[in-house]
Amino acid sequence: MLNLLEDARELEGTLKEERDRATVIVSAMSEGLFVVDPTYTITLINPTAEKMLGVAPGKLIGKKFTEVTRLYKDGIELSEKERPMIKAMQQEIPLISSLEDGYFAVTPTGRIPVALTVIPIKRDGKIVRGLVTWRDISKDKAVKEGVALDGFICPGHVASITGSSAFSFIPDKYRLGCVITGFEPLDIL
């Protein structure tokens, strides 16, 4: 009997360590993370998502995701059935959007372009949760459109304009965005 109690305490300690580790990881994410149940009720939200939506910690737990978020595509607010989360959960398929999909979320600071990932989570063949991440892609959009970022732009085909690549002159912190988008940087200072 004593061994069973010791095993239970050890298991409880291990579970607490794993829960604490998962909490640290979720809290440190730079993307907004929501977990919803099959009725689209928020069961978990990370600090990044709370900050994006301008709400105090814990205020959205138990609220319907569709009631506390507004999502637009190409300037038009999406109805509940048009939302990527609803589609992914109903069709039981993951959904990943990108810059080109044209999604915007409304936040206290205005509308921001977002990339979404929705992953339905199944257990025993039934959807039990949905994992939703939002990423603010404002900077990605600016880079793609050639908008200045701290004195630099990343337009396509710089070589055709300048006759040479300006890539080696851009600060390292902007190179990754230019590499990801396929644009070359141009120093506009």
Supply the pLDDT for residue 25: 67
Supply the pLDDT for residue 24: 66
**C-alpha of 162 from chain center:** 36
Supply the pLDDT for residue 28: 65
Supply the pLDDT for residue 168: 41
Longest dimension (CA), the chain: 81
- Cα distances from 50 to residues 8, 25, 81, 155, 176, in angstroms, run 35, 16, 24, 34, 27
Sign of the torsion angle spanned by Cα atoms 66, 72, 78, 81: negative
Supply the pLDDT for residue 173: 44
Q: What is the pLDDT along the chain (189 residues), one digit of tens a residue?
A: 668 778 788 888 887 787 767 666 666 677 889 999 999 999 999 999 998 888 888 899 999 998 888 899 988 999 999 999 999 999 999 999 887 888 888 877 788 889 999 999 999 999 999 999 988 888 777 777 765 555 554 444 333 334 444 444 444 444 444 444 444 444 333
Supply the pLDDT for residue 158: 39
Residues 6+ apart with CB under 8 A from 130: 35, 36, 37, 38, 40, 85, 88, 89, 118, 119, 120, 121
Q: Could you give the CA distance from residue 111 to residue 126 in angstroms, rounded to a whole number? A: 34
Supply the pLDDT for residue 179: 43
45 φ, ψ (degrees, to nearest 5): -145, 140
Supply the pLDDT for residue 189: 31
SS3 36: strand
Q: Could you give the CA distance from residue 64 to residue 51 in angstroms, rounded to a whole number? A: 18
Minimal CA–CA distance to 118: which of 104, 97, 132? 132
**C-alpha of 145 from chain center:** 21
Summarised one tens digit per residue, pLDDT across range 111-160 is 888 999 999 999 999 999 999 998 888 877 777 776 555 555 444 433 33
Supply the pLDDT for residue 169: 42
Minimal CA–CA distance to 82: which of 94, 68, 98, 71? 71
Ramachandran category for residue 81: left, alpha or beta (phi over 0 → left; psi -120 to 50 → alpha): alpha
Tokens found for residue 87: 């589609």
Minimal CA–CA distance to 130: which of 43, 2, 27, 8? 43
